[in-house]
A and B are shown apart, each in its own frame.
Chain A
Amino acid sequence: MKKTYKIDVDCANCANLMEEAAKKTKGVKDCTVNFMTLKMQVEFEDGAEAKDVMQDVLKACKKVEPDCEIFIK
C-alpha cells in the first residue's frame, strides 16, 4: 500500500535525512521524499496500519530534523 503525504521542511539535505529516517521505521517498506513538491510517498509493509506507522515516522523525522512537519490526514 502506498500513500502520499504533504510535508514541510526547509532544506534539501533535511529532506534526505527524513527519507532515511522514514525508511528505517518499522512498518515502512520504502519511502521517497520529494523536496521539490514537498511530498512524502510511503510504501507500507503488508498488514501495517498506516496511521500508526506514520506517527512513528513523524517521531523519527522530528529527531533528525526538528523543524520538519508531516501532515497526516
Chain B
Amino acid sequence: MLSKTKIKANSKDYQTAKVVTPRERFINIVVFVLLLLLAVVMVFPLIYMVATSFMTKNQILSGSLTLFPDPILIGKYSEVLNKANFISGIFNTIKVEIPVLIIGGFTSSLAAFAFAKMNFRGKNMLFLALLATIMIPFAVVMIPQYVLFSKLGWTNSLLPLIIPGCFGNVGMIFFLRQNLYSIPSDLMDAAKLDGCNYFTTYLRVFLPLMKGALGTQLMLWFMGIWNDYLAPTIFLRSEETWTLQVVIRSFNSYYAIQSDYALIMAASVIAMIPTLLLFFIFQRVIIESIAISGIK
C-alpha cells in the first residue's frame, strides 16, 4: 500500500492526476492570456517586418500603422532577388557552409569518438583544455587572425571562414561525446573481434549510431554560419566574396538613405527564411539541445 502511493507521487502524470481547483483553473487562464499577449509582442516586430516588405513607399512613410498592406506588393522581393550581389551573397554563404559542415563535422565527430570511447594518457586534461577554449572571445583573437589571413593571401577569398571551421567545433565535440556515452562501449570490443581498426570502428559502428545527434549539431552549426557577421565583415576584403549577412547590412546602409525600407525588409526576410524554416521543422530537437547545455 505504502509503495503504491509512493509510485503515484513520483509518477509523471501526478500533476494531471491532481484535482484542479476552480481557483487554480482561473489562475491558469489568466497566466495563459498574459503569456499569449507577451508572445504576440515578441513576434510583432517580425510581423511588422514582413508587412513593411510588402508596402509602397507612401504607405511606409504615411506614419499610420498598417499591418495589411493594400495593395500587397511583391515587387520588392523580385527586385532583391534580381540584385547580383544578393544572389552572390547567398552562394558565398553556401560555399562556406558545405566544406565546413562536411569536413568540420567529420573532424569533430572523430575527436568526440576518441574522447568518449578510447583510452589514452592525458585524455581528461586535453578535453578540459579544449573545452576551455570556448571561453576565449572571438574579439580577442580577431586582429591576429586577420593579420594571419592577409599574410597568407586569403582575405580575397572565402578561406578565412572555411579553413578554421574544418578543424572542428568544440561545442559539437562536447555534445557528441555526451551522446556517445549513452552508446555501450562493448561495441568497441565487438568491432575489434570483427577485424575493425579504430577508424573503421568509428566509421562503420559509431558514426551511424550518432547520426541523430550529429544531425542536430550540424543544423545548429549551419544556422551559426548562416547568421555569422563579425568574422565575414572583418576577413572578407573584396565585395565579390561577401556573405549574405554582410550584403544585407550593406543594403541597410545604402537603401536607408533612399528610404527604401520595403527593399531592406524584403532582403532581411529572405535572409532569415532558411534558419527559421529549419527551426520550425526541427524545433523540438533544437530546443532540447539548448536546454541540455544549461543543465550540464
User: Do these two chains really belong together in a complex?
Assistant: no
Seen from chain B, the residues whose Cβ lies within 8 Å of a Cβ on chain A are none
Chain A residues engaging chain B, CB cutoff 8 angstroms: none
